[in-house]
């Protein structure tokens, strides 16, 4: 078994959490911290990944701001996606020695944990190559995007739980046209929140990666800043 820590940050703005991830990743890379999973809910935000294309924003930045949706550039892979309350957002800041420094294996394993978790709810989820993420039929239920630095991965997954799916209609999610999005609430007809689903997610991650979890208090995390 591999020791790992998890911390529920509650609600946190995207940019502050982004800086915190970078600080945690630096400590993991230096061997000063074990694999660490940060769990969070963000206020409405569109994040623009390294492969972002302007045409996938269907409105102007000013209009998004008028709607109360922040727009942030970030360094993860992928295009544009939406985060908001009611999503289970989890950032596994793990050293990829865990999967033999194989990025493909890392992404497929992140998908596998979500697929196994959703199966416990009676939701038949799947992969949909060549698109990274987890799908129910032709509707995306979870987005995945990561950044790897010094063989440590940060960023991670966003699972639609009981969030409003309307904002996805204001973008081309992940740059993928012609396919829709869905949520756990929509698929199960149960109002399941991120906190309801977190235990099952931790269990699936432990199973896929052979982890022994322990909780990490937020006050033991480093101060969020951009490491040199």
Give the catalytic positions in this structure.
Answer: 174
Instruction: State the first-to-last Cα distance of the chain, in angstroms, to the nearest integer.
Output: 32
What's phi and psi for 226, nearest 5 deg? -80, 115
Distances (CA, A) of 142 to 92, 102, 118, 122, 173: 15, 21, 11, 16, 11
Contacting residues for 39 by C-beta, under 8 A, at least 6 apart = 6, 7, 8, 9, 88, 89, 90, 91, 194, 198
């Amino acid at each position: 078994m591999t020791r790992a820590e998890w911390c529920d940050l509650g609600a946190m703005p995207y940019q502050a959490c982004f800086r915190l991830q970078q600080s945690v990743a630096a400590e993991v890379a230096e061997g000063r911290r074990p694999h660490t999973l940060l769990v969070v809910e963000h206020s409405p935000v569109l994040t623009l990944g390294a492969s972002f294309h302007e045409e996938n924003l269907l409105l102007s930045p000013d209009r998004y701001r008028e709607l109360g949706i922040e727009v942030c550039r970030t360094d993860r892979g992928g295009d544009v996606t939406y985060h908001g309350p009611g999503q289970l957002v989890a950032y596994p800041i793990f050293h990829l020695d865990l999967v033999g420094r194989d990025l493909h294996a890392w992404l497929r394993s992140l998908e596998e944990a979500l697929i196994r978790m959703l199966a416990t709810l009676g939701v038949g989820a799947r992969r949909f190559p060549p698109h990274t993420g987890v799908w129910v039929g032709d509707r995306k239920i979870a987005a995945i995007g990561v950044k790897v630095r010094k063989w440590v991965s940060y960023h991670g997954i966003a699972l639609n739980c009981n969030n409003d799916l309307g904002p996805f209609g204001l973008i081309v999610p992940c740059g993928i046209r012609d396919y829709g999005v869905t949520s756990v609430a929509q698929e199960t007809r149960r109002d399941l929140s991120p906190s309801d689903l977190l235990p099952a997610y931790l269990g699936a991650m432990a199973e896929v990666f052979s982890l022994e979890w322990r909780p990490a208090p937020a006050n033991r995390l480093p101060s969020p800043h951009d490491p040199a």
